[in-house]
Amino acid sequence: MDSTLSIDIARLSARLADLAAIGAIEGTEGCARLALTDEDKAGRDLVVTWMRDLGLDVTIDGIGNVVGVMAGANDGPPVMCGSHIDTVRTGGRYDGNLGVLAGLEIIETVQAAGITPLRPLAVAFFTDEEGARFPPDMLGSLVYVGGMPLEEALDIEGIDGAIVGDELERIGYAGPAPLPGPAPHAFVELHVEQGPVLEQEGVTVGAVDGVQGISWTEVIVTGQSNHAGTTPMSLRKDPGYVAAACVAFVRELALELGHPQVGTVGRIEFHPNLVNVVPASASFTVDIRNTDEALLQEAERRFDEFLRATAEAEGCTVETRVLARFEPVIFDPAVVDLVERTAAELGHTVKRMPSGAGHDAQMLARVCPTAMVFTPSRDGISHNPAEYTSPSDLEAGTNVLLHTMLQLANS
Ligand code: GLV
Ligand code: MN
Ligand code: MN
């Protein structure tokens, strides 16, 4: 490993800023590029232009995943990096974007140094990683690895009523490349931690050894809409009360099960949502996660029991729909070791750790040796325009990715 080879952090930061200008949230550093919106299309067009400027062979598949490949000395499956460029509506500029733009920076660095690795190098961005508009999260990478048939993915309806297939056609990203996509030789994703651990421990690089399991459910509670002034409390069938009790229960359950169990109700709506009307229905989402599959199943079971008992006692009915369900993933120990060793050899402090967030790498892990590199997030803040990682941490993480990829490509 030639540790004097280094990426250009100014060039990487400039690309991060140029991409963040698309869908920029005024007065912040963040951006809103929900999957398959006009803003997502504009971001895609910019990144594809950069890929072509670097001479990459660019392919687009039927779910809109984009892969850019730089030829190696030999043919064969590439060493791939990448992530996503869609964001939540209140996104930062680093979540996902870093892993894609770091890949372009690495290719530019390798080309400028006149290096031709034995294996090809590839950079990918996968469609709808966030799942904030079209559940589940990691949709594009799930389809890429054959975890969901394309036809099923194209039929998914978003929170705004739009359909994945229609939106892909509309923005011009329903491509011809076949699915499932070809398995890479290996996959390594650079991402901001989005949590507080690295910063709190004063560590520069995370060698990510797995991703916790994710369970997303949509709940619709239906009751009896009625007059808020005239309906005695004892005669109500109030879905708003059931939803509120569930919000509190999800938190209590996570606290009782203890770290690393987490639970969130991130979306809630009452209908008709008026001051003097007992709601007719309430809908909300539940996001629960754990690194342990058995504990995650226990949390799911206990939430379901509470929901049904509370609704029944209130005279309400319940419908639930699974929006996403992925078991915990363990990354390839040899690739995790390589990330850890590379970070140490470059002089960085490094820690093996699991990921609290979902990532495209957890899907690629189904088809090839996979790991991730984390860089610290200031105050552990993410899914928030205030998300921030310092240039020196971005540089460290990107150099770890660079040298990890080169070793994988030359071995
Ligand atoms: C996806 O990024 C998630 O972890 O929610
Ligand atoms: Mn992400
Ligand atoms: Mn995210």
CA of 250 to the centre of ligand 2 (A): 24
Pairing relation of β-strands 329-330 and 205-211? antiparallel
Cis peptide upstream of residue 272 (ω within 30 degrees of 0): yes
Q: Provide φ and ψ at 113, rounded to 5°.
A: -85, 0
For residue 212, name the pLDDT band (cuts at 50, 70, 90). Answer: very high
Q: What is the pLDDT of residue 342?
A: 98
Residue 184, phi then psi, degrees to nearest 5: -70, 170
The pLDDT confidence band at residue 281, using thresholds 50, 70 and 90, is very high
The answer, yes or no, to whether the previous bond of 260 is cis (omega within 30 of 0) is yes
Q: Which two tokens stand for residue 216?
A: 């997303």
* Number of the ligand closest to the Cα of 189: 2
Q: What are phi and psi of 297, to 5 degrees?
A: -65, -35
**Between the CA of residue 265 and those of 134, 248, 262, what are the distances in Å?**
17, 9, 11
- In the numeric block, the tokens 């939803």 are attached to 243
Ligand 3 centroid from CA 383, angstroms: 6
Cβ–Cβ < 8 Å for 393, 369: no
Q: Work out the burial of residue 196: count CB atoms within 10 Å of its CB; fewer than 13 is exposed, 13-18 middle, 19 or more buried.
A: middle
Q: Which of 98, 127, 130 has most ligand 1 atoms within 8 Å of CB, for mutation? A: 130
Beta bridge partners of 350: 205
Question: Hunting for tokens 């949502």 — which residue is that?
Answer: 273
User: Is 102:190 a contact under the CB 8 Å cutoff?
Assistant: yes
Ligand 1 is surrounded, with C-beta below 6 A, by: 129-130, 137, 357-358
Q: Which tokens sit at 319?
A: 């419908």
Q: 54-78, pLDDT tens digit by residue?
A: 999 999 999 999 999 999 999 999 9
Contacts of 71 (CB under 8 A, 6+ apart): 57, 116, 120
Instruction: Give 129 Cα–ligand 3 centroid separation in angstroms.
Output: 7
Predicted confidence band of residue 112 (pLDDT cuts 50, 70, 90): very high
* C-alpha distances out from residue 167 to 138, 142, 183, Å: 17, 18, 26
Nearest one of 33, 100, 105, 20 to 67, comparing CA atoms = 100
Residue with tokens 């619709």: 220
SS3 348: coil
pLDDT tens for residues 252-269? Answer: 999 999 999 999 999 999
**Domains contained in the chain, CATH given:** 9-212+328-410 (3.40.630.10), 219-326 (3.30.70.360)
Give the tens place of pLDDT for each residue, 355-376: 999 999 999 999 999 999 999 9
What value does the mean pLDDT of the chain take?
A: 98
Task: Centre a 10 Å sphere on the Cβ of residue 235 and count the other Cβ atoms it contains.
Answer: 10
Beta 226-227 vs 186-192: how paired, if at all?
A: unpaired
Q: Which residues of 141-173 are buried (b: 16+ CB within 10 A; e: fewer)?
A: bbbbbebbebeebbebebeeebbbbebbeebeb
The rounded distance, in Å, linking the Cα atoms of 211 and 380 is 17
State pTM to two decimals.
Answer: 0.94
> Average pLDDT, stretch 268-289?
98
Which helix (H) or strand (E) segment holds residue 326: the answer is strand 317-326
Euclidean distance between CA atoms 133 and 82, whole angstroms: 21
Q: Which ligand is nearest to the CA of 97?
A: 2
Torsional class of 258: left (φ above 0), alpha (ψ -120 to 50), beta (otherwise): left
Any residues with CB less than 8 A from the CB of 14 and at least 6 apart, and which?
none
The pairing of strands 370-375 and 226-227 is: unpaired
Q: What is the dihedral of CA 160, 162, 168, 170, to 10 degrees?
A: -100
CB atoms within 10 A of CB 410: 14
| pLDDT digits 0-9 by tens, 384-411 | 999 999 999 999 999 999 999 999 999 9
Give the residue, out of 83, 212, 264, 359, with the most ligand 1 atoms within 8 A of its beta carbon, to mutate for a pocket test.
359
- Ligand number, closest to the Cα atom of 215: 1
Question: For 1-50, what is each residue's pLDDT tens digit?
Answer: 899 999 999 999 999 999 999 999 999 999 999 999 999 999 999 999 99
Q: From the centroid of its chain, how far is CA 201?
A: 24
CA of 138 to the centre of ligand 1 (A): 8
* Both structure tokens of 323: 């929006």
Residue whose pair of structure tokens reads 């007059």 in the numeric block:
227
Exposed, middle or buried: residue 339 (CB in 10 Å: 0-12, 13-18, 19+)? buried
Q: Is 319 exposed, middle or buried (0-12, 13-18, 19+ CB in 10 A)?
A: exposed
Per-residue pLDDT, averaged over 310-332, amounts to: 98
